[in-house]
Amino acid sequence: MSLGRRPKLGKLASERSPRYNSPSHSIDTRDDGLSHAAYGTVARTGCGLGCPVRSRPCDDVCRGRCREAAKVRPHAETDDPQLPFSDPIQQRYELIRPLLLHPERTAAQRARETGTHPETVGDLKRRFAQQGMLGLVPATQEVRPVHRQLRVPDAVIHELQRLKGLYAGFGARELARIIFYTTMHRLTGQTARRLWDRLPPAGPPPRPLLDYHSHPERPQARQEVITLYAQGWSKRSISQVLQVSRPTINLWIARFEHDNAASLADHSSAPHTPARKVWLPVLLEIYHLQKRHPDAGGFRIWSLRGKTDLSVRTVERIMARNRQVYTDIPGTEPLHASPAPPQPHPFKATAAHEYWFIDGRMMDFAIEGHRWWSLIILDGYSRTMLAGAVAPAEASWVALTVLYSACQRYGLPVHLISDSGGAFISDAFQGVCARLPIDHQTIVSTQGQSYMNLMESHFNIQRRLYDYQFALTRTPQEFDEAHQRFLALYNTTAHQGLLKAHFPSPIPLHVLGESKGRLVPLQELTRKFAHALFVRTTNRYGCVTLHRSHFYVDHGVPQTPVLLWVAGEELRAVYDHVLLAEYACHYDLRTGQVTRLRLGQWYASPFAARQAQGVLLERTPQDSVIVAHPPAGRRQVAGPGQAEQLGLFARVQSA
């Protein structure tokens, strides 16, 4: 094969690999990284003897190595198979070209023909198949992409040089806006940034004034701000170049958008007040009208005056000023009276359990179509909520239940403050307070005395803190559990009144501590509450026996102690602060027994789901029966003492 004619590089590359013709890469010609000295393959450059190192002149050692490499060449004819090309890429291509044109030939055959190592030929062939002509580039040569020549007008280049001399912090889109305004040539932000990076920094152009504060007159500096902003400069760039704050830039831009160029001039900052219309004669005229018509309002005085130079609002302001100045206008006596010194609270406690406050609040939501009540007792000294209960009504039995719980836990208070509600002025409640004894004082809320009952103001805390949680409950049992959680949360968080009173700790429970009221033995306390309360245990069908009367309560609470409350002519069965059943009865004050028990009504039980058993009686008054046992003679039983059923509120009597 004749190698005398060298093929053109572009043509040979186009035969096998079209990627070589791409102008996106340029080759930096350097040393060849493949060494073929062991097999006699060298480039015919340098000393002319095949020295592989072309970057320096050959010395004696190099010439010796070249002669040794020249000796291994098997041919010395003109048709030299060593491929004497000066370009390394051309030489490598000529080395593998027969293998590309004749795929049946092997790398070993081509290596024997050229005196090259077979692995070198195979590696070049494989690299050419993967990368084309770029795979033949020596490893010591750098391949760099060729940048596309950006063709922009000279005016754009000059403007960019001018801007680069002014400020180096422009954004890409900002540069594109400024170029479009000054040269009317559109550029993308990327193109503007590429041009900006390639241009060398230029000196700043001559400008008489370079910052905001160098102008002799302020309107000129403000005009400069508006001009740069209109040319596309950002507020940040204007602030950096002109050395002015951004709020100032925002102020003048907003004024210019509102009033155009007139807003750039200096204006006085003095307040602009309208012409005064209210003089002393006008004040006196309205004063005499007020004396003749002290109950007239502002519009009526304005109409009586018969003039429209003043507005109704101005007349009202004059009237208010006259009431403060003149004391002879009827109805202004309280305004001129000396303020009374602040008085202490009429029931201000100086020690724990001196004053207790009890009150009830109807909730703002309904449970099963009925709005329930919350009753709470508050200690006036520590602001601790001592006890509380929920009930379908503010009844006396609920108030006594709360009072008994507080007295059992903390002792008796000195004074008990409540409003004039029916639950607190009932005979049962008043009788218990008299027997304990507790000084029970009532207030009248309709006469402005609501502030005297601290519990009324503390219900606002309940409303704001926990009403949302109360509204999420669906049954009385859930409501009662949420109510107990509220009491615990309130007693363990800071109280603003205690904080203002400079207590060591503003938490109510910490202030109350271990203090107790007047302690009463439990049996005596039970006797005081005894004449209308009983505790009985239901059987497996939810029925109880009271004073020889066997009646139904609730099948959801089998074999459970329930509270039987006698109020007037009604007997109520209560469990866990939930009203279960109600009967009509007669209570004999002399014997302390319930007689003539008659049919009543039952309420929806929240405990019915606990038991799957049936009920003994039908839960309707028409189909129910009350079993009454006749009194029998007592039989003397010898043996240990009879077992008694202990009651929560009542002295247990034999059934």
pLDDT, residue 513, reads 92
Q: Quick one: average pLDDT of 358-369?
A: 91
The pTM for the full model equals: 0.44
Q: Which pLDDT band holds residue 611 (cuts at 50, 70, 90)?
A: low
Average pLDDT over residues 57-83: 43
Q: Residue range 442-464: average pLDDT?
A: 90
CA angle 310, 315, 319 (to 5 degrees): 155
Distance CA 655, CA 640 (A): 19
Retrieve residue 350's tokens.
């100086």
What pLDDT score does 259 carry?
A: 80
Asked: is 355-512 a CATH 3.30.230.10 domain? The reply is no
Specify whether the CB–CB gap between 431 and 396 falls below 8 A. no
**Which ranges in the chain are annotated with CATH 3.30.420.10?**
355-512
Which pLDDT score is estimated for 324? 92
Q: How far is CA 81 from CA 68, 77, 84, 91, 92, in A?
A: 18, 9, 8, 11, 13
The whole-number average pLDDT for the span 436-458 is: 90
- 501/132 Cα distance (integer angstroms): 92
Q: 373 and 483 in contact (C-beta within 8 Å)?
A: no
- The pLDDT mean for the chain works out to 78
Residue pair 649/526 in contact (Cβ under 8 Å)? The answer is: yes
Q: What is the average per-residue pLDDT within 524-530? A: 73
Candidate ranges 244-248, 255-259, 311-315; pick with highest mean pLDDT: 311-315
Torsion angle defined by CA atoms of residues 512, 413, 383 and 441, in that order, rounded to the nearest 10 degrees: -170
Residue 173: burial class (beta carbons within 10 Å; 0-12, 13-18, 19+):
middle
Which residue in 56, 51, 54, 58 sits closest to 37, CA to CA?
A: 51
Q: Which of 446-460, 486-500, 618-632 has the lowest mean pLDDT?
A: 618-632
DSSP state of 5: S
* Across 76-80, 335-339, 465-469, 554-558, least confident range: 76-80
Instruction: Examine the pLDDT at 51 and tell me if it is beyond 90.
Output: no
Decide if pLDDT at 3 tops 80. Answer: no
> What percent of the chain is modeled with pLDDT above 70?
76
Joined tokens for residue 519: 């302690």
| Confidence (pLDDT) at 235 | 92
CA atoms within 13 A on the CB side of 453: 28
DSSP 260: G
